[in-house]
Amino acid sequence: MGLFDRLFKKEVAEPAIAEIDKSKVPVYPMIKRADWKGIDLVRSQPFLNIGEKPELAIIFAQDAGNCFVYITESDLLLPDVAENFKNCQKNIEAYPHEIVLAASLDNRVFTASGEDHSAEKVLSPAFLAEACLALNTDRLIISIPRRRCMMVTSYYEDFQLLESFFRLHFVAWEEEDYGNEQISDMVFLANSNNIEYAVPLGFRILLYERDGQFKLVYNTMDDLFDESGKIDFQSIMERNKIPVLTAR
């Protein structure tokens, strides 16, 4: 928990009604759950559907100090706002980040968290290329369970490392004390240029303490074991992966 407390937890001020000049304040893409209550009031584009059901969408946010305001379809009828809106991809590309390798995980996992648009760096090809370089891989597993939270590792890691990665992913997803809204309990698969798939894992990993001993327990309705009686996380991800609807 200490790793997440240091990197993810952030006090969030109560939002207030704000007036900004939408033609001047930078616009950033923001990944939201498709059931977000304001989704029908703002400009949005699909990011992930599961079957016929929208799961995730991209909306477009501007910083109004202690809250965000969002670009609407009517905003884009104004030429100055529409011109500013065109810069949203450049803005997320330029948004500052720091890749921090986790020594407790043998420097095989990194976080790039703590800022308002950290999770949306997954929409930046340059960031994904940098992540591949940092982890010496051509394929990534990305966790963005909550706003301002990101954790990344190589797709090719071994069972023990991925078990720890997924457990920490679910810790962040379930921990309301971080004060950041949830994005997804799925993980994402990416190459060095774009997000390719979302993966509903189909299980949870729980950590229990009994008589001073800690034990990991899997909670699932699926069959997790392969023919050899082992859990193969790569096979599970390949079986469950769903193409994202937009790469950028």
Q: What is the DSSP string of 172-231?
A: HHH-GGG---B--SSEEEE-SS-EEEEE---EEEEEEEETTEEEEEEEESS--B-TTS-B
Beta carbons of 166 and 199 less than 8 angstroms apart: no
Structural domains in the chain (count): 2
Final residue in a domain of this structure, among 89, 107, 139: 89
Please give the residue range of the domain that contains residue 68.
Answer: 14-89
Tokens matching residue 248? 């950028």
Pair 84, 153 in one domain: no
Task: Give the model's pLDDT for residue 207.
Answer: 75
Task: Give the model's pLDDT for residue 248.
Answer: 44
Pair 45, 82 in one domain: yes
Pair 236, 135 in one domain: yes
Nearest CA to 196 among 245, 235, 150, 162? 245
The proportion of the chain whose per-residue pLDDT surpasses 90, expressed as a percent, equals 69
- Tell me the β-bridge partners of 158: none
Final residue in a domain of this structure, among 32, 63, 89: 89
Residue 206 class from Cβ within 10 Å (0-12 exposed, 13-18 middle, 19+ buried)? middle
222 pLDDT more than 90? no
Question: What letter represents residue 171's amino acid?
Answer: V
Pair 62, 115 in one domain: no
Q: For the residues 40-52, what does the mean pLDDT come to?
A: 92
177 domain residue, yes or no: yes
Pair 209, 104 in one domain: yes
Q: For residues 224 and 58, which has the higher predicted lDDT (pLDDT)?
A: 58
Task: Give the model's pLDDT for residue 6.
Answer: 45
Q: For the residues 224-229, what does the mean pLDDT come to?
A: 72
Q: Assign 17 a pLDDT band (cuts: 50, 70, 90).
A: low
Q: Assign 89 a pLDDT band (cuts: 50, 70, 90).
A: very high
Tokens matching residue 42? 């703002």
Please state, in angstroms and rounded to a whole number, the distance separating the CA atoms of residues 189 and 143: 9
Rounded to two decimals, the pTM is 0.87
Could you tell me how many helices (H) and strands (E) the chain has, helices first? 6, 13
